[in-house]
Structure 1
């Protein structure tokens, strides 16, 4: 044993120090603190006691490694309650849970720019109609006078550019409208805790495939409008869908009428085709504006994007003015002096008797 320790036999009861490892023999009452380093003394136990009878365990150290020197224990005589001079910076961070990422919407990039696309489409089709009208005016003037080459070049460029840009913008706007229709139907069915039975693929095929898109867009929009009306939406929404559908069918009919003019060989028929193209472009511009109005109608907005004011029906308490005027007493008749017949002799006794009765009848009426 180390110096200062008492150990007369292997069965002596000792108390090991938890800090420096020294073992002190128990003589009488057990100690609590190590006399060497002031560390905590473990509970008394025989030197050769098995592990299950001890509340400590032996740790083997490499040869030559010394026990660290005991540090002096500083004792302060203050009895004040510990306190902070500033708000402590330590502690657990109660971070809010991260928000779940919103699911990626299909065709979101085009749907977010739907208003701009529809306005651009209407503007380009309007420009195309003006270009066709200018071409028709040039044809009329060319019957008697020659046209300047630069004017013909401007007319050809306007017609060509508008004929290429307008269908491209119309197709992009149609795709954006399909994305908007999918989101609108999904939101309408979500209010009823249901899912849309029409998939995005079905909506795209029904709205973009020629001939088929004359019927199915109106059906898809009608279903969404009925759901909105059932949820408290504007009852006029279904009428707006029917107006848009009629404009869409009219535009398709004008396109079918205009196509044969492209293959005409007569100058007069070609000139008529220019007018037909102008009316078709105007109808297409109208369909774009009607589409914008329909999109805003589903959002309870007017065509200019302002909140739509709804009228309210109230119970009428009574008419503002009486329907039947009250009966009033007629004023007494005043006999004028100049109305007296001068010739009293011409008036018979029978007429004299009838005059008071006629006056009474007039007063009664």
Structure 2
């Protein structure tokens, strides 16, 4: 017995028991059909076999279709879905989900390069110059006393004061020059650090190399000027500082050679040798004073402009057009305007070349 669902059109084999509701969609089942099924109907003639030319099977009425139904009882009904409930709402942002933790990256602290006080450098240079001048004056006075002592004996007190004054002047010059060398080396290192930091480049020379190249007695004659030339090249000042640097370098070499000669002749014991050594020491102090003056000149050449300011400044210049037939001196002033000229703000009604509208 077959019953058809009125909702989904499914045909159910209810066997010999009539049903009311469709097991699939819970729709009402139609009354069982009293017509015999086509596949169970007897053939109208003996030749009604498949492939024969006998009678044809009867067609299903409208609203019916064949379905494949497994034998046995009807399939169990599907489980209804559980209700999901109301939409969740939160009074605050939930913390149980994925969270993005962004670590605040602090800006890297810019390490400021060391700085050297200009006043300290100038004071040290001035002190060394005063010490050299004092030593020159003392040794000139000693040479004058040696000339006077050729015919007349000196007072022991005067002789002692002259001798110890020369020793004190030499010691003062020695420590003043050492202090000047240290201060200028510190200035050079700080100046190089600032210059290379301004160009965002590291200093190719390590600090220990700069200190050794500036403080060692004979090594500084070769390396200290090289460091200064590198600094001038980085600051784009080598064009006008090349001559002062070369002259200072030559004066430094001359002072070193004269000082070496004066020190080598200082071990003599005769009167003429002492007098000659006094003259050599005086010349050595004068040469050192000249080298120190050239050092101060070179230092002022660097400190004439701050290192954090660019040496070149580009300025925009607006070029005014000038006619070829009119000379530059005969150009009319800018403020002068022709009397018949219309104001620039007035709009032009007609074109110059087009004909006016009729």
* TM-score normalised by L of structure 2: 0.52
1:166 to 173, 181, 191: 173
For the pair 1:224 / 2:231, whether they are aligned, the reply is: yes
The 5 Å alignment of 1:268-307 reads 268-300=272-304
- Alignment-derived partner of residue 208 in structure 1: 215
Give 1:208 shift: 1.0
Give 1:124 shift: 0.2
2:259 counterpart SS class: helix
Per-residue CA deviations over 1:122-153 (Å, capped at 9, x if unaligned) read 11011101111111110101111122233223
- Checking the alignment, whether the CA contact within 8 Å between 1:122 and 1:284 is kept in structure 2 is no
1:105 to 114, 121, 125: 114
- Alignment-derived partner of residue 31 in structure 2: none
In 2, the alpha carbon distance for the partners of 1:158 and 1:209 equals: 28
2:247 to 243, 250, 267: 243
Give 1:173 shift: 0.9
- Alignment-derived partner of residue 205 in structure 2: 198
In 2, the alpha carbon distance for the partners of 1:152 and 1:266 equals: 16
* TM-score normalised by L of structure 1: 0.51
Per-residue CA deviations over 1:42-75 (Å, capped at 9, x if unaligned) read xxxxxxxxxxxxx9xxxxxxxxxxxxxxxxxxxx
Two-structure CA RMSD over aligned residues (Å): 2.7
For the pair 1:140 / 2:147, whether they are aligned, the reply is: yes
- Alignment-derived partner of residue 41 in structure 1: none
Give 1:167 shift: 0.7
In 2, the alpha carbon distance for the partners of 1:196 and 1:239 equals: 24
The 5 Å alignment of 1:36-115 reads 103=112, 105=114, 108=116, 113-115=120-122
In 1, the alpha carbon distance for the partners of 2:110 and 2:148 equals: 64
For the pair 1:179 / 2:186, whether they are aligned, the reply is: yes
2:235 counterpart SS class: helix
Give 1:234 shift: 6.9
In 1, the alpha carbon distance for the partners of 2:110 and 2:169 equals: 42
In 2, the alpha carbon distance for the partners of 1:253 and 1:160 equals: 21
1:170 to 1:223, Cα distance in 2 relative to 1, 3 A: same
In 2, the alpha carbon distance for the partners of 1:103 and 1:227 equals: 18
Say which structure is richer in helix. Answer: 1
In 2, the alpha carbon distance for the partners of 1:287 and 1:114 equals: 16
- Alignment-derived partner of residue 11 in structure 1: none
Structure 1 gaps of 5+ residues are: 1-54, 56-99, 302-365
Give 1:298 shift: 0.5
1:194 counterpart SS class: coil
Question: Which has the greater radius of gyration?
Answer: 2
